[in-house]
Amino acid sequence: MDPSDPTTFNHQYCNVNGIRMHYIDENQSSKKALLLIHGWPDLWCGWREQIPFLVKLGYRVVVPTLRGFGESDAPADHVQYGEQTLSNDFAGLLDYLQIPTVVVVGHDWGGVCAWRFTQFYPNRVVAVASFCTPYSRPEQQYLPLEELVKLVPNFTYQLYLTTPSAAAEIDENTEAFFKRMFRPISEQVGGGGIIDEQTKTLIAGRPPVPKSDKLPQKVLDYYVEKYQKRGAAGCLNYYKRRKVNFEECKDLEPIIHKPAMMVTADGDVALPPSMAKGMEKSVPNVEVFNVKNAGHWVLWEQPEECNSYLKQWLSKIYPAQKL
């Protein structure tokens, strides 16, 4: 496995829960399995710096490509992207692989998935961790996105992502989009916002930026190829499903008692560390860490620190035999 070359990982496919799903599956002989879940606009390879590290520790590492992304199927209807449906995807994948239980780890939307999978399938989850995305209890009253952004202004960009214009922009400017999006905090340009304050766009009308050295060329090429083939409309359904999630999740047990880890990044504009404050009231067994000098892409901005936290936490709650 070479983190700078996505083709060097073990790519697999299966049919689960009505879709064809792509996933990475490494070190299949290990009895200790980890399920890593990516977010937007990511793919499985957002975990490229963690997968080889965790395999060396002795774990089986399974990394699905979420429905709507990359080589996994992308249903058109946003109703098919609710957290219960996604949790059923993960359970179906584990059934297919005959893996009874896992430690689940998420980032971005994958963090939401990790928390909710733990609630929908507590018997399948040994422990749960999230990078950047704090746990939030299921809402007991539906709040449209338009109202949510008034309470959480740093989510305002999500309003644009629900429009057809956002998908068209990404499809027409895929490489420029990823060059601008996948940058460490030290290389942010134009204020670092996802949406330009003047043009109100993702890419259109914004000056091109060079590829970051932190983003290997073959990794950039992989993202561009998969997005150009799939299109962005499917993955943007994640921003249209608040009503679906409310209906599917409102009756879940709000307290997560599993061992848990929350890792924040001090420069994350979308999900600042302040959002994780008080999480221990809902996740009493959580350990919280913060990575400095990192933004939202903390997994590959500061991989050594992220991996260190994973190793430290896993060794206590889910130790694996070293290879």
- Residue 171 in any domain: the answer is yes
**Measured CA distances, 144 to 115, 150, 215, 234, 240 (Å):** 21, 10, 35, 20, 10
Q: How many residues does the chain have?
A: 323
Please state whether beta strands 125-131 and 11-16 pair in parallel, antiparallel, or not at all (unpaired).
unpaired
Residue 22 catalytic? no
pLDDT at 322 > cutoff 70: no
In this structure, the number of other CB atoms found within 10 A of the CB of residue 248 comes to 20
- Residue 323 in any domain: the answer is no
Count Cα atoms within 13 angstroms, Cβ side, for 153. 1
pLDDT at 139 > cutoff 70: yes
Domain range for residue 93?
6-317
pLDDT in tens, 182-220: 999 888 776 557 888 778 888 888 888 999 999 999 999
How many structural domains is the chain composed of? 1
Dihedral of the alpha carbons of 293, 192, 211, 307, in degrees to the nearest 10? 30
Give the three-class secondary structure for 106.
strand
User: pLDDT value at position 204?
Assistant: 84
Question: For residues 154 and 142, what is the distance between their CA atoms, to the nearest angstrom?
Answer: 20
User: pLDDT value at position 186?
Assistant: 86
Among the listed residues 89, 239, 268, 309, the single catalytic one is 239
CATH number at residue 75: 3.40.50.1820
Among the listed residues 22, 38, 107, 296, the single catalytic one is 296
User: pLDDT value at position 323?
Assistant: 43
- In terms of Cβ atoms closer than 10 Å to its own Cβ (0-12, 13-18, 19+), residue 299 is buried
Between 124 and 192, the more confident residue is 124
Residue 239 catalytic? yes
Among the listed residues 107, 108, 135, 238, the single catalytic one is 108
User: pLDDT value at position 190?
Assistant: 63
- Residue 1 in any domain: the answer is no
Residue 296 catalytic? yes
pLDDT in tens, 19-58: 999 999 999 999 999 999 999 999 999 999 999 999 999 9
- Residue 322 in any domain: the answer is no
pTM here is: 0.96
